Amino acid sequence: MDVWLVLLSVVILLVVAMATVLRRIRNPDLTGEGAITDDSTTKNGRRTFLRFIAIAAASAVPTVFLPAAMRSQSHTVRAQEDPARGPGGRIRQWTMIIDLRRCDGCQSQGTPPRCTTACIEGHLVPEPMEWIQVFEQELPGGGTQFLPAPCLQCQNPPCVNVCPVGATFSTPEGIVLIDQDRCIGCRICMAACPYDRRFFNWADPPIPPEALLADYSPDHQIPATKGTVMKCDMCPDLARAGTLPYCAQACPNNAIYYGDLEEDIATNGVDMVPVSRFLSENHAYQLKEHLGTKPRVYHVPGHGEAVGRDVFHEGRMETEWPWVRRVEGTNPWSR
Q: Does 139 bind other proteins (CB under 8 A)?
A: no
**How far apart are alpha carbons 165 and 310 in whole angstroms?**
47
Under rule CB under 8 A, which residues in 285-314 are in contact with other proteins? 291, 293
Instruction: Looking at the chain, list the stretches that DSSP marks H as alpha helix, in order from N- to C-terminal side.
Output: 3-26, 38-73, 114-123, 158-162, 188-192, 209-213, 236-240, 246-250, 275-281, 322-326
Q: Does 200 bind other proteins (CB under 8 A)?
A: yes
Give 285's strand partners: 299
Q: Does 322 bind other proteins (CB under 8 A)?
A: no
Under rule CB under 8 A, which residues in 232-271 are in contact with other proteins? none
Q: Does 227 bind other proteins (CB under 8 A)?
A: yes
**How far apart are the two ends of the chain, measured CA to CA in Å?**
39
Instruction: State the minimum distance, in angstroms, from the CB of residue 327 to other proteins.
Output: 17
- Return the residue of 16, 96, 97, 129 that touches other proteins, per CB under 8 A: 129
- Asked if 224 and 205 touch (Cβ cutoff 8 Å), the reply is yes
Q: Does 318 bind other proteins (CB under 8 A)?
A: no
Q: Does 24 bind other proteins (CB under 8 A)?
A: yes
Under rule CB under 8 A, which residues in 32-71 are in contact with other proteins? 32, 67, 70-71
- Asked if 321 and 127 touch (Cβ cutoff 8 Å), the reply is yes
Instruction: State the minimum distance, in angstroms, from the CB of residue 70 to other proteins.
Output: 5
Instruction: State the minimum distance, in angstroms, from the CB of residue 91 to other proteins.
Output: 23
Total interface residues for other proteins by CB under 8 A? 73
Nearer to other proteins, 162 or 261 (CB): 162
Nearest CA among 252, 253, 236 for reference residue 244: 236
- Return the residue of 53, 58, 139, 184 that touches other proteins, per CB under 8 A: 184
Instruction: State the minimum distance, in angstroms, from the CB of residue 302 to other proteins.
Output: 16
Instruction: State the minimum distance, in angstroms, from the CB of residue 296 to other proteins.
Output: 17
- Asked if 24 and 31 touch (Cβ cutoff 8 Å), the reply is yes
- Asked if 222 and 211 touch (Cβ cutoff 8 Å), the reply is yes
Q: Return the percent helix, strand and coil in the chain, to nearest 5.
A: 35, 15, 50
Q: Does 323 bind other proteins (CB under 8 A)?
A: no
